[in-house]
Amino acid sequence: MSKTIIDPKLIEFATVRQIEYIQAIEEHGSMRKAAKALGVAKNAVQESMNRLRTAAALKGYSPQHDMHHPVAPGQQLRGVSTYYDKDGKAAGQWVKTSTAQEAFLEMIRDVARGFVEDIGPVDVAPAPLDFQSDVIPWIQIGDAHLGMLAHANEVGENFDLKIAEQELCAAIGILIDELPSCERLVINDLGDATHYENFEGETQVSKNRLDCDTRFPKMIKVYSRVMRFIVDKALTKARHVDVIVNQGNHSRTNDI
């Protein structure tokens, strides 16, 4: 069986986990052996490498298509025009970039896929057997605004991603601990769970500039992590958990 070769330049576009996959492929010679060594499914490695090549292509790097010019950070590839000489060799290229909305949304989807790509089933403690079917608790999460930044010397209180995650998870955890065991439980995100919608720190529709904490992808990861905590915690008290996500004016594009 021939050895699997991964283009080393792809590392520039890889997540930390994808770099681990690349190193394992180089060490063991194939995706199958790399997956076995890492204790993950082969398709997890294969799909992750496919996403990596797609991410690189979206940034302007896909040598098999004569694309060798990655675009600047914060930009997305909109199109490439390549000119070929009489021998079929690339003689010139025009790279067009933009921050197109669809490319932006795909970036969000890729963050979400990458966040959970190597996460297996979560072990959740079995709930008590005396489930109540006549009560359906609803946990309302209103205007969490993860990603908002505030300073106590300006507004009286500090607020950032770390504080938001700690306080929201602690509050929901205490609330769920107080609930009775039930057949069904509902988690209702009423909207604006996240504070801003793009790398500029704005709302997407109104373009309002906001005080925001850290980088946009990190805010999305924190929101994913918070919701995962809440769902896992809810499953200790309920057989079925429904999650409703309502759109807010600060979070329309993020709510996907």
Residue 24 scores a pLDDT above 70: yes
Cβ atoms of 91 and 84 within 8 Å: the answer is yes
Q: How far apart are the first and last CA of the chain?
A: 42
Residue 121 has pLDDT above 70, yes or no: no
- Of 139, 138, 130, 229, the closest CA to residue 181 belongs to 130
**Distance from C-alpha of 1 to C-alpha of 33, rounded to nearest angstrom:** 12
Q: Are 90 and 82 in contact (CB under 8 A)?
A: yes
Mean pLDDT of the 227-251 span: 90
State pTM to two decimals. 0.50
- Domain range annotation of the chain: 8-116, 138-245
Q: Dump pLDDT digits (tens) for 62-99.
A: 776 666 556 555 555 555 555 566 676 765 555 555 55
Is 45's pLDDT higher than 70?
A: yes
Which pLDDT does position 250 carry in this prediction? 83
Counts of helices then strands in the chain (DSSP H, E): 7, 7
Mean of pLDDT over the chain: 80
Summarised one tens digit per residue, pLDDT across range 123-152 is 766 655 567 778 899 999 989 889 899 998
Identify the burial level of 25 via C-beta atoms within 10 angstroms of its C-beta, where 0-12 means exposed, 13-18 middle and 19 or more buried. buried
Which residue from 50, 161, 162, 58 is spatially nearest to 114, judged by alpha carbons? 50
